Amino acid sequence: MKVASIIPFTILLLAGCQSTFQGVNPAENGVIHKAANAGDLEAVRDFLKNGVDVNSKYFLPGEKPPTHNLGTPLLFAVEGGNIQIVELLLEKGADVNAKNIVQVTPLLSGVDLNNYGIVKLLITHGADLNAQTETGTSPLHNAAIYGRNRILKLLVEHGANVNIRARYGKTPLDEAIKYKQTAVAQILRKHGAITGEQLDSEKQ
């Protein structure tokens, strides 16, 4: 079964944004986020020097009061695949585990986009390997679903819970089996992973 490609909704939102931010008000909602997503390292540096909060949240434009948190600059940088900006933001104190409105973390986004370098960098800076979205999805679940073998190994080697359960009790191994990710299933089993059904039977 072929899994559909992933396009983070923040990337869709920012489609068409220019990578030049000269003369833009640094306090404007989402400006540093757009620069981080577009890969404009100098603009991000300038915004931070001008006092923009490294952990500022980008809210859906026009909302009063603002309620839909689309994420921090770090999440936008990860979704743009900009490792230099990710590194800069982390050095400046970005919250590595900051979540958006649907509880997506930078680490989960890095896994989804199959960016090994960014995933490794986030882990080095203390990313929560078991952080879950509002549906209970963890980085390991998505690594299993999309066959991210190398990233999955990295997560497991750094202590990710191989039997973490998402909504309806699904474990990463359940997802690997469902999406016919044989190599992933082998890696997970090697590290003690079992299915949700097996976990339930062990409790009886």
Per DSSP, 60 falls in state: P
CB-side neighbour CA atoms (13 Å) of 14: 27
Cα separation, 54 vs 70, whole angstroms: 15
Look at residue 24 in the predicted model and tell me its pLDDT. Answer: 60
Look at residue 63 in the predicted model and tell me its pLDDT. Answer: 82
Look at residue 203 in the predicted model and tell me its pLDDT. Answer: 83
Residues paired with residue 59 on neighbouring β-strands, in sequence order = 69
| Through-space distance between the first and last CA atoms of the chain, rounded to whole angstroms | 33
Cα separation, 17 vs 40, whole angstroms: 11
Residues paired with residue 69 on neighbouring β-strands, in sequence order = 59
> pTM here?
0.87
Identify the structural domains of the chain with CATH numbers, from first to last: 1-104 (1.25.40.20), 129-204 (1.25.40.20)
Nearest to 186 by CA among 163, 141, 153: 153
Question: With a cut of 70, which residues of the chain have pLDDT below it?
Answer: 1-27
pLDDT tens, position by position, 100-155: 999 999 999 999 999 999 999 999 999 999 999 999 999 999 999 999 999 999 99
